[in-house]
Amino acid sequence: MKNFEESLLAVMSQAEALELLAVLQAGETPKTIRLNSAKKAQLNPVFQQADLFSDAFQLKSERPLFAQDPAWHAGAYYVQEANSMWVGRCVQEHLSTLEGAAAVLDLCAAPGGKSTHLSSVLRPGDILVANEVIASRAAILHENVSKWGLGNAVVTRADAERFGEAGPQFDIICVDAPCSGEGMFRKNEEAHEEWSPEAVQLCSARQQRIVHDVWPALKPGGLLVYSTCTYNRHENEENVLRFERDFGAKRVIPNIPAEAGSLQLEEGMHRFYPGRTAGEGFFLALLQKPEGEWIAAKPGKKKKDAVTPVLEQLPASDWVLTQAGSSLYAVRNGAWAQIFFLSRLPGLLHPGVEVGDVFKGKWKPHPAMALLADSPIADWVDLDDQQVMTYLRREFVSGSFGQKGPVGVRWKGISIGTANALGHGLNNLWPQGWRLRNSEFQAKSLLL
């Protein structure tokens, strides 16, 4: 693509551009996973630890079928592009400078790689608001956050403007902006075919709108983490410089070591190129809101939210119960778990961990409670390899388990979900939207 090659030459030398094009055409994409340390899982030797992230591992052999690994379904690890992990690292470092509980917004969060990482780096009492405006992608985001099982996140579905209208609530906002996708060319052939200079300009304008709309939701002194998976200046450096001018924002220099292999056309704005780094194309910059700036909430247009939570504070408990419709949710007790904060969130879909609901007069515990790293479920049954794949396909699991009533189900010590135990098997409570559709897969795990 001549236009794309010309855009590369605008930001790098001819030798560097040719090197990058050769890597993109090779089509070899490294596979990296991030281990859920809260679930105390251990990997088998097909992975080697990544150099710069203690919980990240790179696959040494060909890509496995993750969907046939019960541990993947259970949130024991997440398949995440390596360079995007710098977002979580930057947020973790900024949180270490804050006093008191913090609220973090992942604005463009689906499918959930960065959100699950952010969930892992939050301190006790912090909250993550994982947001996705597209309904189908919001459902996938909720699934992945639920499976990660740390209980410190809520899921919303709202446009950036609605967060801005609600006023300054967040200490950190992450905007992984929708972009022209140049960094995904060797991973996604469609991204290459859909690229054009016009698409770049359209994406740049959309990114500006998103950041301008959400900026009022950032507290004075708060941090905006801006990222894309593209290479051109329009969507990267030029946008960041524009935000600095428009908001009077201060550029923060991220602590990214030289061995990470990133390049900087402007100080503190990091570009990650495949071939030079462990992952795909990525761009990252940090901006801090002026301390003196305080923007009141805008009146805006009142929109009906997906749920209206009714919260009940439980004395001497680690949880706050939340009722949304017929479902019961739980959120961890802490400074962030206040009625006022949750009641102001736009487009609230899932206000915490789904505990369960009552269906036809019977209690149905939701698998999200079993998937918590510190699940409070008391009664468990263990599944073998064949039974766990039957369970993940949301089918009736035959067997004699010696219990009756609501139970949690485990496989090789890993908590998977919930079921209602009968005398001859398990009535499956795995959510319909999460079910494994391939009937041929057999259990094969990357874990020891």
Q: How far apart are CA 200 and CA 216, in angstroms?
A: 26
User: Active site residue: 90, 108, 203, 229, which one?
Assistant: 229
Under 8 Å between Cβ of 179 and 229: yes
In whole angstroms, what is the distance from residue 180 CA to residue 204 CA? Answer: 9
Q: Which residues pair with 34 in a beta bridge?
A: 56, 78
321 close to 329: Cβ distance less than 8 angstroms = yes
Write phi, then psi, for 350 (nearest 5 degrees). Answer: -135, 100
Question: Is 179 a catalytic site residue?
Answer: no
What are the CA-CA distances from residue 163 to residues 301, 319, 345 (Å)?
12, 26, 7
Q: Is beta strand 405-411 parallel, antiparallel or unpaired with respect to 380-383?
A: parallel
Do you find a cis peptide bond into 111, omega within 30 degrees of 0?
yes
Q: With CA atoms as reference, report the closest residue to 249 among 278, 223, 267, 282.
A: 223
Q: Measured in Å, how far apart are the chain's first and last C-alpha atoms?
A: 45
* Sheet strands side by side (includes 353-359): 310-313, 319-324, 327-332, 353-359, 362-365
Distance separating alpha carbons of residues 220 and 400, to the nearest angstrom: 59
Query: What whole-number distance in Å separates Cα of residue 170 and Cα of residue 158?
Result: 15
* Residue of 148, 46, 137, 165 lying closest to 88 (CA atoms): 148
Residues with active-site annotation? 229
